[in-house]
Amino acid sequence: MSSNGNTQKRSLRSAAWLNEPGSPDQTAIYLERYLNFGLTREELQSGKPIIGIAQTGSDLAPCNRHHLTLAQRLKDGIRDAGGIPLEFPVHPIHEMGKRPTAALDRNLATMGLIEVLYGYPLDGVILTTGCDKTTPATLMAAAAVDIPTIVYSGGPMLNGWQGDKRVGSGSIIWECREKYAAGDIDYENFMDQVSSSAPSAGHCNTMGTALTMNSLAEALGMSLPGCAAIPGPYRERAQMGYFTGRRIVEMVWEDLKPSDIMTKASFYNAMRVCTAIGGSTNAPPHIQAIANHLRDVDININDWQTHGEKTPLIVNCQPAGEYLGEEFHRAGGVPAVMGELIKAGVIDTKVLTVTGKSVGDIYTSSASKDHDVIKTYDQPMMENAGFAIMSGNLFDSALMKKSVIDDDFRNTYLSNPESPNCFTVRAIVFEGPEDYHHRINDADLDIDQHCILIIRNCGPVGYPGSAEVVNMLPPDRLVKQGITCLPTMGDGRQSGTSGSPSILNISPEAAVGGGLAHIKNNDLICIDLNTNQVNLLIDEQEFARRKDNIQLITVVNQTPWQEIYRSRVNQLSEGGTLQTEGDYTRIAKTHGIPRNSH
């Protein structure tokens, strides 16, 4: 189909608002107020695509704040391609700023954006993404409404530096917490070191959840090639904005929608890319959540094992490696990763991308430009580096990120010649982060290297929203002896920037009666990475007794949204999305144009 603006175009959904033949009274009502800031009737009634810019940046969402200026390049591209841009705000989601959790707001932003995309005269939309949950939140909404959509990331911050040492956002916090606990640095030093990781506009520069989710959006086919990794301040970032603006107008004419691009095969591709980049443990719930908003994309947590586990880690970025966003971009970013995986034959090359071309067309000739940063498939940083999907007598599923298991952990827990990859630990249970901080240094707990730190009531219902708290530091006493990592486990999440091989995202969570609720201090737990099993070693009668006497925590809802969210949210293994009854997929088509409001 033509994209040069000359041929006769199909009729657009925005015409139902702005140019509906036979109902001048309604058209006038919609039209007149869009004129009041200077748009003309000619622009709005000439059949040009109206393109929404879903603006996630604000002073409250600093990781995405530079989208406020980048939006100009999106608009330039839209205009040059013959479209009309209309920018609007998305409910802010800032990972670090929002209490009790940003996770609580992901679905809220999605619900808000669904209403906007469906209820306003929009023919296509650019999703401005960046900070962790802004990418899944906006993609979930666009998937549900299913109008032409393209993802435009704001990109990572520049590298942080201290002398000649790279300082990665998030990762430096975990490192400095250890130094502070060991008494090696003081408060001023702690603050200075952590701040040095954020030298410019952009999202986290590590391969945390933000860079992971934007890389996976690209792997899914939802952004232009190369978009994910370009650092926020680079000129290519704004140039990518211009191309993105141009492309969405073409996509409207081609009627190229999320449901044409995000198929089961593209999700399997994304799972493999997630392993190859050493992606965040937050990816599985977010990826599941996006799939939940599409029709006929039936994926589940076990697919990560089937399709992601055997892939090697090839990207050398923190927390699994040493580099940051700038090197990842220069080494070729997601296109290079896709190229390596295509060469190895593990990517479905037929799936479509927002370019209108297939993954194979776009990425087959891409390769790493720096093998120190992006390795080859055959000489990776680690083989079989995907998430282990754990289960056992305490829960149906949990994740363990194998690519961050370091030599210390391996030598201490996984190298017993009699039971390789298998260890038994003594449980120390915390009822949430407050309890953990209050009691972790309590000598009576007698915590040593044979313990596992367990945190519960931190899932979607219990927290609410699921908190990033599972990567707990051992007591100061052990940290001072150089023991900086104990096994941990919990029904919350952990930051994608954390290098801890925790057992996390445990589903079902304790607050809904999950098995974590039954554990007591000093219980023994056996963890077997050969079979991916976690089992409480307990007499069956005693286990039955505890199940009969289970006491769930009481959570007081503090806001109306918390009440709605907690009453409808599913578990992390299911994406932590809201359970609804109607058909809310392909909404624009399924339910047609909404009724007039006057």
Distance CA 290, CA 144 (A): 9
Distance CA 10, CA 324 (A): 44
Q: Is 160 in the site for ligand FES (CB under 6 A)?
A: no
Residue closer to Mg ion, measured from CB, 209 or 311: 209
Peptide bond into 319 cis (omega under 30): yes
Distance CA 91, CA 84 (A): 23
Residue closer to ligand FES, measured from CB, 134 or 275: 134
What does 210 interact with, of Mg ion, ligand FES, none (CB < 5 to 8 A by kind)?
A: ligand FES
Query: Residues 78 to 107: which contact ligand FES by CB under 6 A?
Result: 95-96
Among 131, 299, 362, 452, binds ligand FES (CB under 6 A): 131
Q: How far is the CB of 179 from ligand FES (least distance, A)?
A: 21
Residue closer to ligand FES, measured from CB, 256 or 274: 274
Q: How far is the CB of 404 from Mg ion (least distance, A)?
A: 15
CA distances from 237 to 70, 199, 249, 554 (A): 8, 17, 19, 47
Residue closer to ligand FES, measured from CB, 98 or 264: 98
Q: Is 132 in the site for ligand FES (CB under 6 A)?
A: yes
Q: How far is the CB of 468 from Mg ion (least distance, A)?
A: 5
Residue closer to ligand FES, measured from CB, 469 or 512: 469
Structure tokens at 490: 């919990």
Q: How far is the CB of 69 from ligand FES (least distance, A)?
A: 18
Q: In degrees rounded to 5, what are phi and psi of residue 201?
A: -60, 150
In this structure, the number of other CB atoms found within 10 A of the CB of residue 88 comes to: 14
- Beta strand pairing call for 124-129 and 149-153: parallel
Report helix angle 283-292 to 264-277, nearest 10.
170
Q: How far is the CB of 357 from ligand FES (least distance, A)?
A: 30
Q: Which amino acid is residue 82, in one-letter code?
A: G
Q: How far is the CB of 49 from Mg ion (least distance, A)?
A: 35
Q: How far is the CB of 202 from ligand FES (least distance, A)?
A: 8
Number of residues forming the site for ligand FES (CB under 6 A): 10
Residue closer to ligand FES, measured from CB, 83 or 208: 208
What does 63 interact with, of ligand FES, Mg ion, none (CB < 5 to 8 A by kind)?
A: ligand FES
Whether residue 570 contacts residue 460, with contact meaning beta carbons closer than 8 Å, is answered with yes
Residue closer to ligand FES, measured from CB, 95 or 574: 95
In this structure, the number of other CB atoms found within 10 A of the CB of residue 107 comes to: 26
- Segment holding 251, helix H or strand E: helix 235-254
Binding segment for ligand FES among 135-143, 202-210, 226-234, 455-463 (CB under 6 A)? 202-210
Query: Residues 402 to 441: which contact ligand FES by CB under 6 A?
Result: none
Q: Is 167 in the site for ligand FES (CB under 6 A)?
A: no
Q: How far is the CB of 102 from ligand FES (least distance, A)?
A: 8
Distance CA 342, CA 593 (A): 41
**Among 180, 182, 176, which residue's Cα sits nearest to residue 196?**
176
Q: How far is the CB of 92 from ligand FES (least distance, A)?
A: 11
Peptide bond into 233 cis (omega under 30): no
Distance CA 27, CA 29 (A): 5
Among 13, 66, 75, 203, binds ligand FES (CB under 6 A): 203
What does 203 interact with, of ligand FES, Mg ion, none (CB < 5 to 8 A by kind)?
A: ligand FES
SS (H, E, C) 273-327: HHHHHCCCCCHHHHHHHHHHCCCCCCCCCHHHHHHHCCCCECECECCCCCECHHH
Q: Is 208 in the site for ligand FES (CB under 6 A)?
A: yes
Q: Give start and end residues of each alpha helix (H) in 85-170.
A: 103-119, 134-145
If DSSP codes are grouped into helix, strand and coil, which group holds residue 73? helix
CA distances from 255 to 2, 119, 431 (A): 12, 19, 50
Distance CA 259, CA 149 (A): 10
Peptide bond into 501 cis (omega under 30): no
Q: Is 210 in the site for ligand FES (CB under 6 A)?
A: yes
Q: In degrees rounded to 5, what are phi and psi of residue 537?
A: -85, 100
What does 484 interact with, of ligand FES, Mg ion, none (CB < 5 to 8 A by kind)?
A: none
What does 564 interact with, of Mg ion, ligand FES, none (CB < 5 to 8 A by kind)?
A: none
Binding segment for ligand FES among 5-13, 65-73, 117-125, 203-211 (CB under 6 A)? 203-211
Q: Is 468 in the site for ligand FES (CB under 6 A)?
A: no
Residue closer to Mg ion, measured from CB, 495 or 502: 495
Q: How far is the CB of 79 from ligand FES (least distance, A)?
A: 30
Peptide bond into 100 cis (omega under 30): yes
Query: Residues 6 to 65: which contact ligand FES by CB under 6 A?
Result: 63
Q: How far is the CB of 497 from Mg ion (least distance, A)?
A: 7
What does 495 interact with, of Mg ion, ligand FES, none (CB < 5 to 8 A by kind)?
A: Mg ion
Binding segment for ligand FES among 200-208, 348-356, 361-369, 545-553 (CB under 6 A)? 200-208
Q: How far is the CB of 169 from ligand FES (least distance, A)?
A: 6
Peptide bond into 464 cis (omega under 30): yes
Residue closer to ligand FES, measured from CB, 339 or 433: 433
What is the Cα Rg of the chain in Å? Answer: 24
Q: Is 116 in the site for ligand FES (CB under 6 A)?
A: no
Report helix angle 283-292 to 134-145, nearest 10.
20
Which positions ≥6 away from 550 have C-beta within 8 Å? 513, 517, 518
Q: How far is the CB of 460 from ligand FES (least distance, A)?
A: 20
Structure tokens at 423: 């260890």
Q: Which amino acid is residue 224, in one-letter code?
A: L
Distance CA 376, CA 396 (A): 35
Site of tokens 């971009």:
329
Q: How far is the CB of 282 from Mg ion (least distance, A)?
A: 6
What does 131 interact with, of ligand FES, Mg ion, none (CB < 5 to 8 A by kind)?
A: ligand FES
Residue closer to Mg ion, measured from CB, 403 or 471: 471
Binding segment for ligand FES among 172-180, 201-209, 218-226, 446-454 (CB under 6 A)? 201-209
Chain residues in the site for Mg ion (CB under 5 A)? 95, 132, 209, 495
Q: Which residues of this chain interact with ligand FES, rule CB under 6 A?
A: 63, 95-96, 131-132, 169, 203-204, 208, 210
